[in-house]
């Protein structure tokens, strides 16, 4: 990748920055002068940038603040329906599709049965149909653009090339160029990523901060998504987030992966025998490892297994993290919360895979504007 920057890149960078602040400000909006303070740009530059954004229909004026002795500040806000993105969550037995607007609000949701073991053509047809359905359903006006499709699915894959690897349990997909195939079927740009990454991105963007963030997903397996510095950390091979098979018990009980003492094995074994407290304690130990290693600011739990006993998992994980923080003499502990909405966060995050680059939240490789 290049890294060299020219004037259009500069312009795009600053526009993304302003757009992200508008997104974070939400319906409440933000004044030009605060944008200037937050970006470090001069007020005049912000005026020019917001004028362009307004001309493109991405931003609009929305009232004014109270005067502080002079002309009152004009409030700007994002125009949510200036553009949309489709998010797909391809799970083992189910396909969830959402249409999200620029503000990240889900304006349409649909669920379809799916068999990931079926031939690629069938899966592709289902996915393309789902895209068409939510596109038709969600937009208030037909002429608004749809920027693309984000597809999230389990198992290893390569985000850069959009090619799948050995999706767990479905070896047939190994080497399948899902991104290009889906792009051809839908006529839209497509981004693919792991389900945990998508969920982590979506949940991180919901917040108003740029804090470092970890999402732990406990369902039929255990995985993690990491958002560092406001953008997904995928690693060179999209392999980051391999959390379930971290060794947490040297020479512990065997795991189906061939290893021993993996977090996933310990956690699911405890959950399987109904010992939620122990499962939460194991998960907490892994989470605390992660928090310490990366100096994470916030941990969010999700997935079906967690959803069944939300309070118990949050309490258990929080207890371990707080205890370790106390040992290290840190006063402020890392907050632990749970992602509501079952599996929806994955599909919503998948849509954010497309939208995030507009706000400068792309991962390592900088995505272009459509």
Partner DNA sequence: TGCACTTTGGCAACAGCGTTGCTTAAGTGG
Partner DNA sequence: CCACTTAAGCAACGCTGTTGCCAAAGTGCA
Which residues in this chain contact DNA in the complex, by CB under 7 A? 4-8, 10-11, 14-15, 31-33, 41-45, 47-51, 64, 67-74
Indicate which of DNA, its own copies, none lies near residue 329 (CB less than 5 to 8 Å, by partner kind).
Answer: its own copies
Please say which residue, 105 or 209, places its beta carbon nearer to its own copies. Answer: 209
Min dist CB 1 to its own copies, Å, is 8
DSSP state of 137: H
Asked whether 308 and 272 are in contact (CB, 8 A), the reply is no
Q: Give me 334's structure tokens.
A: 């890392």
Q: Burial, 292: exposed, middle or buried (Cβ in 10 Å; 0-12, 13-18, 19+)? A: middle
Min dist CB 64 to its own copies, Å, is 24
DSSP state of 142: T
Please say which residue, 79 or 288, places its beta carbon nearer to its own copies. Answer: 288
DSSP state of 319: H
Please say which residue, 45 or 338, places its beta carbon nearer to DNA. Answer: 45
Min dist CB 81 to DNA, Å, is 22
Min dist CB 1 to DNA, Å, is 15
Indicate which of DNA, its own copies, none lies near residue 48 (CB less than 5 to 8 Å, by partner kind).
Answer: DNA
Residue 190's DSSP bridge partners are 149
Please say which residue, 100 or 222, places its beta carbon nearer to its own copies. Answer: 222
Please say which residue, 45 or 60, places its beta carbon nearer to DNA. Answer: 45
What span, in angstroms and rounded, lies between the C-alpha atoms of 273 and 256?
A: 17
Q: Judging by DSSP bridges, how do beta strands 94-101 and 157-158 pair with one another?
A: unpaired
Residue 338's DSSP bridge partners are 301
Indicate which of its own copies, DNA, none lies near residue 32 (CB less than 5 to 8 Å, by partner kind).
Answer: DNA
Look-up: residue for tokens 């020219």? 6
Please say which residue, 73 or 179, places its beta carbon nearer to DNA. Answer: 73
**Among 298, 304, 368, 366, residue whose Cα is nearest residue 332:** 298
Q: Give me 65's structure tokens.
A: 């603040």
Collapse the DSSP code of 107 into the 3-class scheme (helix H, G, I; strand E, B; otherwise coil) and give the result: strand
R_g of the chain computed on alpha carbons: 22
Q: Judging by DSSP bridges, how do beta strands 213-218 and 222-228 pair with one another?
A: antiparallel
Min dist CB 60 to its own copies, Å, is 22
**Residue 137 neighbours by CB under 8 Å, 6+ apart:** 99, 108, 110
What span, in angstroms and rounded, lies between the C-alpha atoms of 230 and 124?
A: 31
Indicate which of DNA, its own copies, none lies near residue 3 (CB less than 5 to 8 Å, by partner kind).
Answer: its own copies
Indicate which of its own copies, DNA, none lies near residue 73 (CB less than 5 to 8 Å, by partner kind).
Answer: DNA
Indicate which of its own copies, DNA, none lies near residue 74 (CB less than 5 to 8 Å, by partner kind).
Answer: DNA
DSSP state of 166: -
Q: Give me 113's structure tokens.
A: 């049965």
Min dist CB 126 to its own copies, Å, is 28
Indicate which of its own copies, DNA, none lies near residue 132 (CB less than 5 to 8 Å, by partner kind).
Answer: none
Q: What are the DSSP E strand ranges found in 135-221?
A: 146-153, 157-158, 163-164, 190-194, 213-218
Please say which residue, 49 or 188, places its beta carbon nearer to its own copies. Answer: 49
Give contact residues for its own copies (rule: CB under 8 A).
Answer: 2-7, 10, 13-14, 17, 38-41, 45, 156, 166, 211-212, 224, 226, 228-229, 233-243, 245-250, 252, 257-259, 266, 282, 285, 288-290, 292-297, 324, 327-329, 364
Please say which residue, 65 or 136, places its beta carbon nearer to DNA. Answer: 65
Min dist CB 285 to its own copies, Å, is 5
Min dist CB 193 to its own copies, Å, is 13
Collapse the DSSP code of 275 into the 3-class scheme (helix H, G, I; strand E, B; otherwise coil) and give the result: coil
């Amino acid at each position: 990748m290049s890294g060299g920057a020219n004037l259009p890149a500069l312009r795009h960078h600053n526009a993304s920055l302003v757009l992200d602040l508008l997104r974070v400000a939400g319906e409440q909006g933000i004044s030009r002068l605060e944008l200037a303070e937050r970006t470090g740009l001069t007020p005049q530059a912000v005026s020019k940038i917001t004028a362009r954004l307004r001309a493109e229909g991405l931003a609009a004026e929305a009232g004014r603040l109270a005067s502080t002795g002079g002309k009152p500040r004009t409030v700007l806000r994002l125009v949510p329906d200036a553009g949309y993105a489709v998010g797909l969550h391809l799970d083992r037995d189910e396909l969830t599709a959402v249409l999200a607007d620029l503000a990240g609000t889900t304006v349409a949701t649909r669920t379809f049965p799916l068999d990931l073991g079926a031939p690629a053509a069938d899966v592709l047809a289902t996915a393309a149909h789902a895209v068409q359905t939510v596109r038709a359903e969600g937009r208030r006006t037909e002429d608004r653009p749809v920027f693309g499709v984000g597809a999230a699915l389990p198992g290893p894959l390569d985000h850069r090339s959009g090619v799948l690897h050995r999706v767990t349990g479905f070896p047939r997909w190994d080497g399948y160029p899902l991104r290009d195939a889906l792009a051809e079927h839908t006529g839209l740009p497509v981004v693919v990523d792991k389900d945990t990454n998508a969920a982590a991105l979506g949940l991180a963007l919901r917040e108003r901060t740029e804090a470092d963030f970890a999402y732990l997903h406990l369902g039929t397996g255990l995985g993690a998504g990491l958002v560092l510095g406001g953008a997904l950390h995928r690693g060179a091979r999209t392999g980051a987030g391999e959390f379930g098979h971290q060794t947490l018990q040297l020479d512990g009980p065997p795991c189906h992966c061939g290893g021993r003492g993996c977090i996933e094995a310990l956690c699911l074994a405890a959950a399987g025998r109904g010992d939620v407290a122990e499962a939460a304690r194991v998960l907490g130990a892994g989470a605390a490892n992660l928090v310490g290693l990366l100096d994470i600011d916030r941990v969010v739990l999700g997935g079906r297994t967690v959803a069944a006993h939300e309070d118990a998992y949050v309490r258990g994980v929080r207890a371990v993290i707080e205890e370790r923080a106390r040992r290290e003499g840190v006063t402020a502990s890392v907050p632990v919360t749970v992602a509501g909405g079952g599996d929806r966060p994955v599909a919503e995050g998948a849509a954010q895979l497309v939208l995030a680059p507009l706000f400068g939240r792309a991962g390592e490789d900088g995505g272009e504007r459509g």
